[in-house]
Chain A
Amino acid sequence: EAGVTQFPSHSVIEKGQTVTLRCDPISGHDNLYWYRRVMGKEIKFLLHFVKESKQDESGMPNNRFLAERTGGTYSTLKVQPAELEDSGVYFCASSQDWTIRNTIYFGEGSWLTVV
């Protein structure tokens, strides 16, 4: 069974440009999460989708970040315009449901460098 897949694995863009990251969760997983880790910091929660609805977006840093999950399948995270401090690793994770016993599975991350 395929795991959580993320694309692109690496991206280098200039400040002010736009980048769109994509996440394909494990098939059948209604819950999808975005996290990020910026240099020298801990992994931080960004938001949580249940199917196509945003359950919790309390971790989104500002309105330059837009997450979507049309149709409740894959999700995109767009950064527009990108700033230097957005550089880091963006992780996507998914779980079958959001009860206590359910494991969430992480993708390998999308590494973003803003220059």
Chain B
Amino acid sequence: QKEVEQDPGPLSVPEGAIVSLNCTYSNSAFQYFMWYRQYSRKGPELLMYTYSSGNKEDGRFTAQVDKSSKYISLFIRDSQPSDSATYLCAMRAGGTSYGKLTFGQGTILTVHP
């Protein structure tokens, strides 16, 4: 069983839609949660970072963590064609180096005009 499960999609939505991306995890040691965005043929780019249960908002993006359910989400409001990319959740256990991340498989998102 994978430590992090993420639906690979693909997910296709119209411009302006609210997008919901999700990951579940099995390792209780994970304490830090991130969302990365990866454009085609590029490296992952950090979008959101959080370490507590609850919501964190940054512009059109909201990251949600529910540690009791081992479930994290990323919401994108008013989605734009420029949001079309692969979205990766990533997690890190406490006591490990910041760069030792466990990734989900990534969800391919397309926002069409």
- Chain A: residues with CB nearer than 8 A to chain B? 4, 31, 33, 35, 41-45, 48, 55-56, 59, 91, 93, 95, 98-100, 102-109
CA distance A94 to B3 in the complex (A): 24
CA distance A106 to B96 in the complex (A): 19
Stretch at the interface among B11-19, B56-64, B69-77, B99-107: B99-107
Which chain A residues border B44 with CB–CB below 8 Å?
A: 43, 91, 106
Residue B109 at the chain A interface, CB threshold 8 Å: no
Residue B45 at the chain A interface, CB threshold 8 Å: yes
Do the beta carbons of A108 and B41 come within 8 Å of each other?
A: yes
5 more contacts with CB within 8 A, not counting A104-B46, A108-B43, are A33-B99, A55-B97, A105-B43, A106-B43, A106-B44
CA distance A80 to B18 in the complex (A): 47
CA distance A95 to B49 in the complex (A): 15
- Which A-B residue pairs are the 3 nearest by beta carbons? A106-B43, A43-B103, A33-B99
Do the beta carbons of B99 and A95 come within 8 Å of each other?
A: yes
CA distance A95 to B99 in the complex (A): 8
Do the beta carbons of B98 and A104 come within 8 Å of each other?
A: yes
Which chain B residues border A59 with CB–CB below 8 Å?
A: 100
Chain A, residue nearest B45 (CB):
A106
Do the beta carbons of A42 and B103 come within 8 Å of each other?
A: yes
Proximity bits, B1-24, A CB within 8 Å = 1, else 0 = 010101000000000000000000
Which chain A residues border B102 with CB–CB below 8 Å?
A: 45
Do the beta carbons of A102 and B43 come within 8 Å of each other?
A: no
Do the beta carbons of B98 and A95 come within 8 Å of each other?
A: yes
Q: List 16 A-B contacts (CB under 8 A).
A: A31-B97, A42-B2, A42-B88, A42-B105, A45-B100, A48-B100, A56-B97, A93-B43, A93-B99, A95-B99, A98-B97, A98-B98, A103-B46, A104-B46, A105-B43, A108-B41
